[in-house]
Amino acid sequence: SAAFEAIDAGAAAAADWVTVAPFLYGRWDEAAQAHRAAEEKQWNEAAAEVFGSEGAFDPEATRAALAALGTPVLVLAGEFDLASPPRVVARLAALFPRAESVVQPGAGHYPWLDDADRFVSVTARFLA
């Protein structure tokens, strides 16, 4: 669809994100719809613009800092996450020397919502 193409090109408008919202969840049930509605109310456009603005961070310095981090890190992706696909999350995990990368089956961008029990189990096992 045009919305997916705009997002992929980095040229998405707010309406494009509304169009694809159901695809960010493992299932588009009442809980997911309520989560999406609450998230829309909490969105801070000004902060998002600063966070992603040109020069907001130095990629090479960030990579060097992550490579020096000696702490174990859990990087968890939802199997169907369009915003942070598992292949991209695996590349992120590779930046850490002690990362564990996990893909949660059946989950989208919000694995704690799509399958809270599985999310808690994986997280608790990592923290133990």
Percentage of the chain beyond pLDDT 90 is 59
Is the pLDDT score of 126 beyond 90?
yes
Q: Which range marks the domain in which residue 34 is found?
A: 2-127
pLDDT recorded at residue 68: 97
| pLDDT, tens digit (0-9, with 9 covering 90-100), for 78-121 | 999 988 899 999 999 999 999 999 999 999 999 999 999 999 99
State both tokens at 124: 């608790």
The DSSP symbol for 55 reads T
pLDDT recorded at residue 54: 86
| pLDDT, tens digit (0-9, with 9 covering 90-100), for 62-81 | 999 999 999 999 999 999 99
Nearest of 60, 110, 51 to residue 81 by alpha carbon? 110
Distance separating alpha carbons of residues 16 and 6, to the nearest angstrom: 7
Nearest of 41, 13, 21 to residue 113 by alpha carbon? 21
Is the pLDDT score of 1 beyond 80?
no
Q: Is the dihedral of CA 51, 53, 59, 64 positive or negative?
A: negative
Mean pLDDT over 13-38 rounds to 89
3 within 8 A of 20, measured Cβ to Cβ: yes
Residues paired with residue 104 on neighbouring β-strands, in sequence order: 78
Q: What is the domain count for the chain?
A: 1
The CATH number covering residue 21 comes to 3.40.50.1820
